[in-house]
A and B are shown apart, each in its own frame.
Chain A
Amino acid sequence: MTGWANISQVKEKIAQTSAEDVTASYLERIRKSRINAYTTIWEGAIEKAREIDEQGHNGPLAGIPIAIKDNISTRGISTTCSSKILQGYVPPYDAHIVERLKDAGAIILGKTNMDEFAMGTSTESSCYGPTLNPWDKARVPGGSSGGSAAVVAAGEAPISVGSDTGGSVRCPAAFCGVVGLKPTYGTISRYGLISYANSLEQIGPLATCVSDIAALMDVIGGHDARDSTSVQTETMYKDALVDDVSGLKIGVPAEYFGAGIDPAVENSVWDAIQLFEELGASWEQVSLPHTSYALAAYYIIAMSEASSNLARFDGTRYGLRNEGENWHVMASRTRAEGFGAEVKRRILLGTYALSAGYHDKYYLKALKVRTLVKQDFDQAFKEFDCLMTPTMPTPAFKLEEKVEDPLALYLADVNTVPINLAGVPSISLPCGFTDGLPIGLQIISKHFDEATVLRAAYSFEQNTEHHTRRPAEVA
């Protein structure tokens, strides 16, 4: 059984058999996997499932297997950010969302592969090697939460969580043909999420359908006193699942259909917008004039924060240590060996951007651009309920196609990073296929208006078949 399934299908299966059987069959599938999407398989999952069978559990995710991105702390389960420098690190504590998931009865199957420290768009910079796209193993699954998207697409977990700093949930969701949400900044506690760029990132759910996204949000969303940026929200995400977009005002930002966009992607997105119109929504073009500066601002801010966030990995307390004649030599050797090329590149660029003499020119300027980008969105949302764009300008590209060209890789994020700069919510869901590769539609809304995003996405899903397609080898 199992494979591609949503929560209610898994629940049905558990009722017919047991949580243990379901978990065992997922683990079986994972062991046979050829896409390299898991970094750690948690063998305790079976026992946990058995416990739920024996003792019962009335949590909303009782017995539902889930995969967790390798940058989210799990007590007693290795958490490495797919980096050599964190080899051997086993957190002594659970991230807030992991606590919530456990309380809800979810069974952790394991940790998923990612770009090292979430720095990438292809999951190729992992120290465990790349994850392959289940739709075409010669292609990347997107990144940085490539593992989390791929396991859902390949039926190796019904649901998963990733993190999205500049598109890291939505990009792989688009490339793997699943649904992924980047919630409003502050909606989900980051406590336990290993920081890459704190001011930009949010944990986000991935699933085969919009209702599962809402179900996961109801479990992992909400205030946590341990994250000062976490916000008190009252949203009941499941309530947003209404198949009705009549009167919905959609803005279509011209800047997101710029040069380099794949014609098939452009067509699919326009088809989707047309469908919304048929369902009772209206659309108009809108301009977000500062979009072209967003990418540069994003990378400066993200790299600056990263250069500081990653300073703690010095071999002193946990993870890899390469000895040296004194502490500084030890720390240098550890970092030289422990970090991959992309991580080093970003630390160096971030350090540079914050340095005396350059701080104002780069970091401060980037903050100003960020404000302008945010204002673009505020302005747009005065007129529109949501915006629709392609998530990625192209379908999944080939493995190694962009490894040697970091700039080309950065450019792939052009439609996702402005959303993180602004802090607004956005979802990616399948809206078509080209040459057997999925295409993602991005729906963006204003701060804390996940309800509109989910309602639009749910309505689209109810009136289309894209989300029912699955990779050839998934039963």
Chain B
Amino acid sequence: MVYENVDGVKIGLEIHVQLNKLNTKLFCGCSTDYHNDEPNTHVCPVCLGLPGALPVLNKRAVEFAMKVGLALNCDIVGQTQFHRKNYYYPDLPKGFQTTQYDFPIASHGKVIIDGEDGERIVRITRAHMEEDPGKLMHIGSIEKSKGTLINYNRSGMALIEIVSEPDMRSPKEARRFLDKLRSILEYLDVFNGDLEGAMRVDANISVMGGERVEVKNISSHKGVEKAALYEIMRQKNFVRRGGKVVLETRHFDEQRGVTLSMRSKEEEHDYRYFPEPDLVPMRVADRVPEVIKTLPELPDAKRERFTSQYGMADMHAKALTSEIKVANFYEQVANLVDPRSAAVWVADILKGELNYRDVSVDAFKVEDIVEIIELVTGNKITERSGVEIIRTILDNGGTPAAIVKEKGLIKVEEDIVTKAVTEVLEENPEALQDYLGGKEKSLNFLVGQVMKKTAGRSDAKTTREMLLDRISKLPPK
């Protein structure tokens, strides 16, 4: 199957990623751990842009950026070079942003995603380092607020801006790309996507060979998908009515799910880039081999290893490796029980329950899932009871043993089921006759009756087998 892309959709993304696993900011020693602290408590002369303060490049930030570049299959620049991007805004304490311009730390990479019709390569144009501005806040709404408050705690946080080519052909592909990117960043341990403002996306969207429209500052993957869907529809309708899409920047209203025009590209600022005189180039080319050594196994490699090492289906391997936490959780479980059962239980069941509740795998203990899998494979409880235990733990807490006991989930003795089978066959002679006469469905009815009698404590599979066994032994009439 080949994806046709009838509307000629092209989506390119620019993703600002906060390297928030660093201990200090990009150009000063201020701590990055500000998320729960009072405004303007993680600041110093450098990140406040006080007169006379000078930047010093965080060596570890460069290493993090190199890791990202290498994980995205990029070339790494020979030496770092920073520029000043000049513009006025109250969140920008120096009146310019220190960023990389014509020599980004990484360029010419690629990421493989599950596209509309199988594997798809999204090319990475570049990834460059820059500093985050502060954050503006208003009391109440922007319109009603008497003034603007500025929190510079975020000012000077290290960002890496990753720019893709317009290689995505649908909102779904854009979403998959972002999921994959987040997965890689978390594998690299340079980024915690759960923190506020950790990832901000600008999406460039065009249809049918028209001009691109940039939708700025979308804060979630879902938002990007929604914004792209809306924007494609809007542009298509516009063209259909005879309009011509022009270069412009739009804003995504997350609540209403619509994009709104901000300004046309012609009015764009002249940023007057020039090399930052206060920073000297840092040679990084020689450090590439050493950084490569520190790269962890990445999602694609892990997925392949999971299928070969644990003999699981690729579908399961993919589900288990998309999040590093889940992959690590799975491997701990697989060390203790049958890896294939573990794959099914973690990938299909547990992950589903976690997603449903929007909680991370941290919410579940390895030992609990191991115990549940052992109970099921040891035929002590039914699969359904296993699922019930997982749900109970997630909703109310507790241990598998306690829940089994409290809810009486241990499978009933077989003679009780045997007795129920005998009774059901005696009580339902018509159904039995129908089955013997070739009506397969009647067997299901009988299975249901047995399960009803045992209050669901026998499982369908065993019941079915026992019924068939008994029927085959009935004396012919």
Contact = CB atoms under 8 A, between A and B. Distances in A.
Interface in B264-297: 270, 272-274, 277-280
Contact of B52 (A72, A356, A359): A72
A81 B272 CA distance: 25
Given A95-B52, A327-B90, 10 more contacts: A91-B45, A91-B52, A194-B51, A198-B278, A305-B274, A307-B272, A308-B95, A311-B86, A311-B88, A312-B93
A305 B192 CA distance: 37
A229 to B, nearest CB: 6
Given A351-B272, A359-B272, A308 B86 contact: yes
6 contacts: A93-B53, A193-B52, A307-B86, A312-B49, A313-B51, A317-B93
A183 to B, nearest CB: 17
B94 to A, nearest CB: 5
A314 B52 contact: no
A118 B96 CA distance: 21
Contacts of B52: 71-73, 79, 91, 95, 190-195
Nearest to B51: A194
Contacts of B351: none
A31 interface: no
Interface stretch (A129-137, A220-228, A250-258, A411-419): A220-228
> Would you list the 10 A-B pairs with minimal beta carbon distance, nearest first?
A311-B95, A199-B277, A354-B272, A198-B277, A194-B51, A192-B52, A73-B52, A312-B95, A194-B52, A356-B270
Contacts of A79: 51-52
Interface stretch (B13-21, B54-62, B416-424): B54-62
Given A331-B88, A355-B270, A312 B54 contact: no
A228 B95 contact: no
Nearest to A189: B54
A363 interface: yes
B84 interface: yes
Contacts of B84: 308
A318 interface: yes
Contacts of A305: 274, 277
Contact of A73 (B51, B93, B270): B51
Contacts of A125: none
B277 A311 contact: no
B260 interface: no
A249 B289 CA distance: 48
A89 B51 contact: yes
A86 interface: yes
Contacts of A310: 95
A228 B282 CA distance: 10
A73 to B, nearest CB: 4
Contacts of A232: none
Contact of B272 (A71, A190, A191, A308): A308
Contacts of B45: 91-93
Contacts of A355: 270, 272
Contacts of B342: none
Given A93-B50, A228-B280, A312-B49, A354 B56 contact: no
B274 A304 contact: yes
Residue from B51, B86, B90 having most chain A Cβ neighbours under 10 A: B51
B88 A229 contact: no
Given A91-B52, A93-B50, A192-B52, A228 B272 contact: no
Given A89-B51, A191-B52, A226-B54, A311 B272 contact: no
B150 interface: yes
Nearest to B274: A354
A311 B94 contact: yes
Contact of B96 (A95, A308, A359): A308
Contact of B94 (A228, A312, A328): A312
Contacts of A72: 52
Interface of A: prevailing SS: loop
A312 B52 CA distance: 11
B48 interface: yes
B392 interface: no
Contacts of B94: 311-312
A8 interface: no
B148 interface: yes
Contacts of A17: none
Nearest to A310: B95
Given A198-B278, A311-B86, A363-B274, A228 B50 contact: no
Contacts of B93: 312, 316-317
Nearest to B49: A312
B53 to A, nearest CB: 7
B277 to A, nearest CB: 4
Contact of B51 (A91, A308, A354): A91
Given A91-B51, A190-B54, A327 B148 contact: yes
Contacts of B270: 355-356
Interface residues of A, number: 46
A351 B270 CA distance: 10
Contacts of B50: 73, 91-93, 317-318
Residue from B52, B56, B93, B279 having most chain A Cβ neighbours under 10 A: B52
Interface in A153-208: 190-195, 197-199
Nearest to A327: B90
A316 B149 CA distance: 10
Contacts of A191: 52-54
Interface in A76-104: 79, 81, 86, 89, 91-93, 95
A89 B48 CA distance: 14
A311 B280 contact: no
A73 B48 CA distance: 15
A17 B270 CA distance: 62
A227 B54 contact: yes
A23 B277 CA distance: 39
Interface string B88-100: 1010011110000
Interface in A47-85: 71-73, 79, 81
A331 B89 CA distance: 10
B56 A226 contact: yes
Nearest to B87: A311
B133 to A, nearest CB: 12
B26 to A, nearest CB: 13
A92 B52 CA distance: 11
B50 to A, nearest CB: 7
Interface in B49-79: 49-57
Residue from B48, B50, B93, B270 having most chain A Cβ neighbours under 10 A: B50
A225 B56 contact: yes
A312 B272 contact: no
B187 to A, nearest CB: 32
Interface in B328-381: none
Contacts of B54: 190-191, 226-228
B279 A228 contact: yes
B63 to A, nearest CB: 17
A89 B45 CA distance: 13
Interface in B96-115: 96
Contacts of B86: 307-308, 311, 354
Contacts of A192: 52-53
A195 B49 CA distance: 12
A89 B54 CA distance: 18
A91 B86 CA distance: 24
B149 to A, nearest CB: 11
Contact of A229 (B90, B150, B278): B278
A356 B56 CA distance: 29
Contacts of A311: 86, 88, 94-96
Contacts of B53: 93, 191-192
A246 B198 CA distance: 66
Nearest to B89: A327
A228 B55 contact: yes
Contacts of A86: 51
A305 B272 CA distance: 11
A361 B363 CA distance: 61
A312 B95 CA distance: 5
